[in-house]
Amino acid sequence: MATVTPDSGPLESLLIEGYIARCFGPRQAGKYFSCLLKRALERDVIAFTPNPPERESAFFFAHSVPRHISSHSPDQSNWLLDRKVVAKGTVVPQTLWASHTITDKPYHIEEAELQMPIFFDCTDGRLGLPLEAAAAGRCDNLLDAQASAPLGSESTTHILIHVSDIFGP
């Protein structure tokens, strides 16, 4: 596994220490961020904010985003790309969705207007929601729990999350 050194910049840290890189791997995370931002990933694209006050994890922000994101979310503080992994809980590796046909690739990947990642922040600054609490519907301590998720121009979306087999059938 790659490591972050003292001379590593925000981009290197994002692709090693971020949740998305931990879920999908550094190369797939880089591809995802390039598709999301509609540009090549370069050092000047990413900003890093070490543990903000009353938050559990450091933030990685984008300096600029495509128009379809900025028109719905003009406040630059909402351009959160990823969070630095905290040393608790489990990051479950995921498989990045891929088109099964060549004709679907431009529509679903290259030309798609991806939205910024959504993180489950708790009102006390903690990051994440225990699986047991989510399964039991105990989500009232989530920050903005009653607000709609920022899905761009869509009103609904489908999300597939793989859960580890350690919990059994």
Distance CA 136, CA 132 (A): 6
Residues 6+ apart with CB under 8 A from 39: 45
What integer pLDDT is reported at residue 160 of this predicted model?
63
pLDDT at 97 exceeding the cut of 60: yes
pLDDT at 164 exceeding the cut of 60: no
Q: What is the DSSP letter of 46?
A: E
Phi, psi of 34 (to 5 degrees): -65, -40
Q: Which residues pair with 80 in a beta bridge?
A: 61
Global confidence as pTM: 0.76
What integer pLDDT is reported at residue 162 of this predicted model?
60
- Classify the phi-psi angles of 125: left when phi > 0, otherwise alpha if psi is within -120 to 50, otherwise beta: left
Closest to 47 measured CA to CA, from 60, 33, 34, 30: 60
Q: How confident is the model at residue 6 (pLDDT cuts 50, 70, 90)?
A: low
What integer pLDDT is reported at residue 26 of this predicted model?
92
What integer pLDDT is reported at residue 88 of this predicted model?
65
Instruction: Express each pLDDT in 105-131 by its tens digit.
Output: 777 777 778 888 888 888 888 888 877
Instruction: Express each pLDDT in 49-73 by its tens digit.
Output: 887 777 777 888 898 889 888 887 8
